[in-house]
């Protein structure tokens, strides 16, 4: 039984995977780091002061315990994090340059997430639910999450989606990509995501196809050091990357996703250009230190103001 960390139910939830990155260093040494795309977004939102939770399942072993401890440290509502006696989900990163990896997790804990075990009344309290990552490429978890997204959308809950392309996402993922894009209010996509998901070097064509599936959504289109765009219906705003001293870029995309959601939730009166600038500032702030550590709101606001000049 997970401890209760908050009395009030969260207004933001990220549902998906929390995992452990096993990273090979110095040839034959391995280090472990907590991670997971959707879990990272939940931590970003909590760091910005939003009542947040990660809804998913982790193992009961040392890897799962590390994820629970990091979630508690981030201020997440632990009532939404389920621990089951199954093996952990591991990302084996055997080369960092270029990135080469595979996943270990047959019948792992993440696949056994059960929304029926979430706290009573949570659906009435939540305003926004985020989906994405490899959780939507792993069955039966993917089917569980898609059904949940459909149910939440029907209730008027805002949905965000970041496919975050990984090698698991082959042709069998195509239907999920289209379904989740059609459900989402915000879709974050990078140029590398588009190339991988559409298996094509025609990046502009892939982006246009994606947007045709849901013309009313917000599309946060990121291009690394080349900056990002926010596309809403017929309006497109572009902004260059913010110049910072980079520790590394791990978690920058998740931070920019969290930044855009936060800006839309807390400052809906902002213009499209201002929402984009806040998202870019959030990603840049995450790059200022090593590891997927959520940026502070103060650091994001400083970069946001800097980019406004």
Please state, as a whole number, how many other Cβ atoms lie within 10 Å of the Cβ of residue 71: 27
User: What does the pLDDT read at residue 1?
Assistant: 37
Q: Which CA distances in Å does 76 have to 24, 100, 142, 182, 267?
A: 29, 31, 23, 28, 22
Does residue 2 form part of some domain? Answer: no
Q: What is the pLDDT of residues 266-305, one digit of tens each?
A: 999 999 999 999 999 999 888 887 766 788 899 999 998 8
> Are the beta carbons of 159 and 131 closer than 8 angstroms?
yes
Task: Give tens-digit pLDDT for 213-225.
Answer: 999 999 999 998 8
Q: How far is CA 148 from CA 12, 22, 123, 203, in A?
A: 15, 30, 10, 30
pLDDT of residue 243: 79
Q: Report yes or no on 236 lying in a domain.
A: yes
Q: What pTM was computed for the model?
A: 0.93
- Listed as ranges, residues in the chain with pLDDT below 70 are 1-6, 245, 247-249, 291-292, 309
Q: Is residue 258 part of a domain?
A: yes
Domain count, the chain: 1
Which CATH number belongs to the domain containing residue 299 in this structure? 3.40.1190.20
228 falls within a domain: yes
Q: Could you report the per-residue pLDDT of 2-39, keeping only the tens digit for each?
A: 444 457 999 999 999 999 999 898 878 999 999 999 99
Question: Residue 288 contacts by C-beta under 8 Å, 6 or more apart in sequence?
Answer: 244, 245, 246, 247, 295, 299
CA separation for the pair 9, 25 (Å, rounded)? 41
Q: What is the pLDDT of residue 6?
A: 56
Residue 7 lies in a domain: no
Q: Does residue 4 belong to any structural domain of this protein?
A: no
- What is the structure's pLDDT at 253? 86
- Residue 177: both structure tokens together: 């990509």
**303 part of a folded domain:** yes
pLDDT value for 234: 86
- Tell me how far apart the alpha carbons of residues 41 and 299 are, in angstroms, rounded to a whole number: 17
Q: Which two tokens stand for residue 302?
A: 């400083």
State residue 252's pLDDT score. 82
Query: Domain containing 197: what range?
Result: 12-308
CB 262 within 8 A of CB 274: no
Q: Is residue 214 in a domain?
A: yes
Omega of the bond leading into 98 within 30 degrees of 0 (cis): yes
């Amino acid at each position: 039984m997970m401890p209760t960390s908050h009395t009030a139910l969260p207004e933001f939830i990220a549902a998906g995977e929390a995992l452990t990155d096993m990273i090979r260093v110095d040839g034959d040494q391995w280090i472990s780091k907590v991670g997971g795309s959707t879990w990272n977004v939940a931590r970003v939102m909590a760091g910005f002061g939003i009542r947040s939770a990660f809804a998913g399942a982790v193992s009961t072993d040392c890897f799962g315990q590390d994820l629970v401890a990091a979630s508690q440290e981030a201020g997440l509502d632990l009532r939404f994090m389920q621990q089951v006696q199954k093996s952990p989900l591991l990302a084996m990163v055997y080369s960092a340059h270029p990135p080469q990896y595979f996943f270990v997790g047959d019948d792992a804990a993440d696949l056994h997430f059960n929304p029926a075990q979430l706290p009573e009344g949570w659906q009435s309290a939540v305003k926004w639910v985020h989906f994405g990552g490899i959780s939507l490429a792993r069955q039966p978890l993917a089917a569980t999450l898609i059904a949940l997204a459909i149910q939440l959308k029907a209730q008027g809950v805002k949905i965000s989606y970041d496919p975050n392309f990984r090698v698991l996402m082959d042709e069998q993922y195509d239907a999920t990509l289209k379904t989740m894009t059609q459900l989402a209010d915000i879709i974050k996509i990078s140029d590398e995501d588009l190339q991988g998901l559409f298996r094509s070097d025609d990046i502009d064509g892939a982006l246009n196809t994606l947007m045709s599936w849901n013309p009313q959504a917000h599309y946060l289109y990121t291009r690394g050091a080349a900056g990002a765009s926010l596309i809403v219906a017929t309006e497109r705003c572009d902004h260059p990357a913010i110049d910072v001293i980079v520790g590394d870029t791990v978690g920058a995309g998740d931070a920019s996703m969290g930044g855009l959601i936060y800006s839309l939730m807390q400052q809906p009166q902002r213009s499209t250009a201002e929402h984009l600038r806040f998202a870019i500032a959030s990603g840049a702030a995450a790059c200022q230190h090593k590891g997927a550590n959520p940026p502070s709101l103060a650091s994001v606001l400083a970069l946001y103001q800097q980019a406004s000049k």
